[in-house]
Structure 1
């Protein structure tokens, strides 16, 4: 077998390169596989991005990258929602033109996504002409089906939520001045009674069809907690939905086709962005049939009730899965400007690195329940799992002191015979075989958790195996072996070979989560771009008597520490600085 020289590996992009040169997943897999379409929400462009926005984006990006590793031709849409009363009011308050205001805020989201390695294939702004055309066609289709009619709508309206609420969704509260007000029980935002003439969508006609869809597709909304919440919602009366606002009150939006006195409801407008990205109305068929949405729990009703009803009305397929995640809190409280506890994701990604923040959000973010953020927790998790455990394992097993030839060492089957029945024949012990079994089963376990977007479970499984591999190396202390002794040399090489094979697995499996760290790790092991896909995993073939293409291959050049330890003083100093500004505690 011909072993690629190090120069050839450099030319192929497998080793070396600049720190930011992690390969796009599209370079590593074929774009001719089955289609997959994933979307993050279009984020409302009335304020700067916060940690929750980044969490949604990273979660969708992880799914997109994972599917590409599996050979799918994946499309990933993300962007900004730029119409509605909140934006109109925010622009007025700032004394700016709404479109200029939106362009500025949308630019902040773009910069965050670029900084955090979000590999979207389409960035959509709902002020784009292509989107307006898609919304107008969608509206016209619903109207032609007799599903939109003119009428008078009356009820409690939340400007913050851009939504009318049923009486059961409204409660009493006191505003900051002590005045009694009505608020949304779900969001806590103030509501006011409103009555106006506009267009309504015959949502009530779709209640039974929505129930049939959900009952026939238990995986349509995940996790199960949110699936059950949607089912519960559909047990109650589903009144027709107001889908326009009077132009005199809401001028910033898409006018209703044929009626310039009305503006299309911002949520109908915004949801159609998914179709716009898919190519609606003329070229959406091949993508839309594989649509998957990633959303926060606060917009569940819009995506799991209104949106499917709109799609049914337009005669379009429903999404395959709506993946829902919970929120981040700080000190057990919801982030808000008034409390001064909003976490700036761009600043944190600069402080803790892009991959560091990606890893933390996906490692600690549990879809079923809210999670609490603190800088101290970030430091603790990243130091323990990326710097010490994974980084330490790579540094130890590629160190020139243990591997002076700087090659992927050989595996000796006499030293590590297959099957625990051979325990007495080699140097391996029972714990070593347990580790091999855990790593062998890891891809299927990670696959299961990536598919369900329980990424934290996948990372927990990887982290557990990394600890076992560190234990394996520590147990056999290869640095104490005598390289001049033939048996010791073969066992030393075998220990390192097994450890590098484990590291190759971890680096490949972690690509959707920490693309840059994975790139550096795999480059150090001289794993070529085409050898980084899911089908190429093939763990420890020499153990099973098969050839290993990596054996004897020169390692990639040292590229420094895989992940530098974060000093606890980073978080402590931040905390002390923040105490000088009580309005913005961390």
Structure 2
């Protein structure tokens, strides 16, 4: 019978080893943000994936370098706009009631998933309204806002104004011809009304200069933005008449207009930095993590707003693709939306986190289906990692339940090449994982760890310490070395897995008898002893 990953946790929690050896042991603050999530519906798979990714950098820094890195990690909810207004009306609620309810669902989900954050922002908070009003006045004073007439296509689902070239004809389920957004596929409607406009067109040279710094990753998304800026860049409508949109922040100088929901929402990154209080200073190195569906808002509108206000644009935008379900875009109408709460019940928090991080990829859409989850967790965690831990810590293999001494006069000639290859890979593994994690290529980091686990399994199996312990004294000495190297490799894997699967990693380290003060690689490198 193949054990599902979750069943192994209890077996791993037996009495920990006593250690016969012990191990000796980025500058500057950083703002790391996920998107703030829209509260017209409950949290879904994509929200959880973004938030889990956004919570990784600080734990990685602690794990590999053993030091706290000053980081401000932001999550939150976007609570204004016509979609919230419509969703509340459909449920017979006022918008404030809906926002409070759904926002709490997001907070609960993030806490349940063990997502690390230092601030949870709601755009209905007074501190945010004050920031938006001040920012609007700054844009007005600097001559970037004027009153004009907006005429064009508007997508309510995306809360986006679109040019003719960004739309196309389509057919609805009833066979009627409609016009839709080419990016999202959502229906658009023609709109003509007097609005406040932002002089986006005048900022193209500065935006192109910013793009030369290579701020958008992965590279394909940078090329998309470059192409957008090669095309016509019309001025942007930044208000809606309050007769149409009542649920939002009124324009400071004209309460008959409501601030455009994206101008409102994007300012949240300034709100958490205490803008516009005297204590505010432009955030230092900043990284915005976002899905590709909101790339235009973050890569064109947001840096343009900041430049117009005399503030620095973001340092880095890290863009990821979407999740599908069995190859099909998730949709309520298709009833294929994955409920994160059910996934946590089925696979546990760490099992669900592992699958998302291992299968998620920035460059391509990622697919979710339950067979894939079970297969991955069985293969990588239950069979490979769990199997190696259980075999090397079993009482029959190690009756004294301790770390054997690494004492061997010579390595058998048949094992030298395999041992050398394994040691070289394991000693370089922390650097590889650190590099991938800090560029948010977490799937590659976890693949590298899994590769190490499988190499350790192959080494353990080929050297067969259970046989060596029945042989000569020289065989027994080599068997103890094999066991020691296997346990030390497991310590490395458990340490490196802490940011991705914290509960599971702590279980492994507890089983190995690794003290809480030694669960980093700072002063405790692979094969170090004191």
Aligned equivalent of 2:8: none
Alignment match, 1:299: 294
Alignment correspondent of 2:204: 207
What is the Cα deviation at residue 278 of structure 1?
2.3
1:519 and 2:514 aligned: no
Farther off after superposition, 80-89 or 70-79 = 70-79
Contact preservation (8 Å) 1:481, 1:488 = yes
Please give the alpha-carbon distance, in whole angstroms, between the structure 2 residues aligned to 1:525 and 1:331.
Answer: 39
Match in the other structure for 1:42: 36
Q: Distance in 1 between matches of 2:14 and 2:77?
A: 33
| Mapping of residues 365-444 of structure 1, within 5 Å | 365-416=360-411, 424=413, 428-444=415-431
| Structure 1: stretches of 5+ with no match in the other structure | 1-14, 19-31, 417-422, 542-547, 550-586
Counterpart position of 1:577: none
Of 469, 473, 491, 1:504 maps to: 491
User: Structure 2 matches for 1:531-546, cutoff 5 A?
Assistant: 531-541=518-528
Which of 292, 302, 318 is matched with 2:313 structurally? Answer: 318
User: Which of the numbers 166, 177, 182 marks the counterpart of 2:179?
Assistant: 182
Kept in 2, the 8 Å contact 1:79–1:124? The answer is: yes
Given that 1:35 and 1:286 are in contact with CA atoms closer than 8 Å, whether structure 2 keeps it comes out as no
1:193 is displaced (CA, Å) by 0.6
Contact 1:505–1:537 under 8 Å retained in 2: no
* 1:486 equivalent in alignment to 2:473: yes
Moved more, 309-318 or 334-343: 309-318
- Cα deviation 1:255-281 (Å, max 9, x = unaligned): 111211111110011111111122222
CA drift at 1:249: 0.5
- Cα distance in 1, alignment partners of residues 133 and 239 from structure 2: 13
Q: In 1, distance between residues paired with 2:483 and 2:243?
A: 72
More deviation, 200-209/292-301: 200-209
The answer on whether the counterparts of 2:168 and 2:180 sit within 8 Å (CA) in structure 1 is yes
Deviation at 1:17, TM superposition (A): 11
2:310, 2:336 → 1: CA distance? 44
Cα distance, 1:287 vs structure 2: 7.4
126, 131, 144: which is aligned to 2:123?
Answer: 126
> When the two structures are superposed, what TM-score results if normalisation uses the length of structure 1?
0.83
Larger RCO (CA within 8 A; separation ≥ 6): 2
Aligned residues: 506
Equivalents in 2 of 1:472, 1:253: separation in Å?
62
Superposed CA deviations along residues 557-580 of structure 1, whole A, max 9, x for unmatched, are xxxxxxxxxxxxxxxxxxxxxxxx
What TM-score do you get using the length of structure 2 for normalisation? 0.92
Distance 1:239 1:537, change over 3 A: farther
* C-alpha RMSD of the superposition: 1.9
Pairing of 1:100-499 with structure 2 (within 5 A): 100-215=97-212, 217-218=213-214, 220-282=215-277, 288-416=283-411, 424=413, 428-482=415-469, 485-499=472-486
Rounded Cα–Cα distance in structure 1 between residues aligned with 2:292 and 2:521: 31
CA separation in 2, counterparts of 1:374 and 1:485?
Answer: 51
Deviation at 1:46, TM superposition (A): 0.1
Cα distance in structure 2, aligned partners of 1:496 and 1:252: 64
Q: Is the 1:359–1:514 contact (alpha carbons within 8 Å) kept by the matching residues of 2?
A: yes
Write the deviation string for residues 345-370 of structure 1: whole angstroms up to 9, x where unpaired: 11111211111111101111111011
Structure 1 residue 91 corresponds to structure 2 residue 88:
yes
Post-superposition offset of 1:75 = 1.7
1:176 shift after superposition: 2.2
Q: Deviations over 1:107-144 (max 9, x none)?
A: 11112111111111111111111111111121121111
